[in-house]
Amino acid sequence: MKFRSNFDFQYPGSPLGYTSSIDLMGSCFTERIGTKLHQARFDVENGHFGTLFNPVSIFQLIEIALDDIPFSPELICEKDGSFVHYLSHSQINGAKPEDLLANLNSARSNLKKRLLAADKLVLTFGSAFAYRLISSGVLVANCHKQANGNFKKELLSVNFIVEQGIGVLSKLKELNPKLEIIITVSPVKHLRDGVVNNKLSKSILRLVCHELESAIKGVCYLPVLEWVEDDLRDYRFYGADLAHPNEMAEQYIWEQFLSSCFTVETIQQIGQVFRLNGKIAALSKTAIQKYEKEINTVNTWVARPFSLTEN
């Protein structure tokens, strides 16, 4: 008897490898995959503006980067003694408004540089619910724990998100024709919206991914949501909050990601890198020398070489 609806998926684009330049943006799930790729020593950059949940805010920041649009000082607020911006996560902050703007502009410049050179861009959409500032009508990426009365919550429509996405991603593809864009829906449940509304939100995001994949060549959907909800399909793969996939689920998704999007040779190389990581993690600089031959071998293919003085 079968007790799981596991399924095969093969990424239709060119396989990811150690010559790939990979960028990731979106929900906190993106951070998990980005961390794994970083540990595997890929050329990867993750979360230029921190955690972003709704897709329109992701598209907005990509457009700001591509067009060198300055960040509005009017969208700065104060949180926990630092200044933050409504279009970004509080991961980017400043002791003074001018410090914040400098940090935002630096992140914007870096994002543009990376987007124009990248081979792969991974976008993870977390929620179709978003918030607008009542005073200006601006759609924010983060409310930064400001007063609830400052915002109006809304459910973004499929058509609105797709319209924004096609405009920005088509422009990006024109500027960087070799770029392949992987889009996915985060399996993290947004239970604060309620179980019913979370399912509604995820359904909208799944339709958005379908429309974007159909409309833009080089855009591909990665079925992360389905790996969790239809393949694993069990609360034992969630954390204590029953919302976030746990370590077992994250490892399973990572393995599915590898088998779907990487060659067998690259997967073997990744395994060798992780084994080497484990060997040298707690060693002194002197003790690392005993692995010099293995380090030199691995350094022939990784994007970010090991150092013999790693620690």
Strand order in the sheet with 129-133: 139-140, 129-133, 151-155
For the chain, strand residue ranges (E) read: 21-26, 43-46, 76-79, 82-85, 120-125, 129-133, 139-140, 151-155, 180-185, 219-221
pTM, two decimals, is 0.94
Residue 311 is predicted with a pLDDT of 55
Residues of the chain with CATH 3.40.50.1110: 21-261
How many Å apart are CA 183 and CA 162, to the nearest integer? Answer: 13
Write out the chain's pLDDT in tens, 311 residues. 776 777 888 899 999 999 999 999 999 878 889 999 999 999 999 988 999 999 999 999 999 999 999 999 999 999 999 999 999 999 999 999 999 999 999 999 999 999 999 999 999 999 999 999 999 999 999 999 999 999 999 999 999 999 999 999 999 999 999 999 999 999 999 999 999 999 999 999 999 999 999 999 999 999 999 999 999 999 999 999 999 999 999 999 999 999 999 999 999 999 999 999 988 887 777 778 888 889 899 999 999 998 877 65
How many Å apart are CA 86 and CA 138, to the nearest integer? Answer: 9
Beta-bridge mates of residue 22: 44, 120
Residue 310 is predicted with a pLDDT of 61
User: What's the token pair of residue 201?
Assistant: 């939100």
Domain 21-261 has CATH 3.40.50.80: no
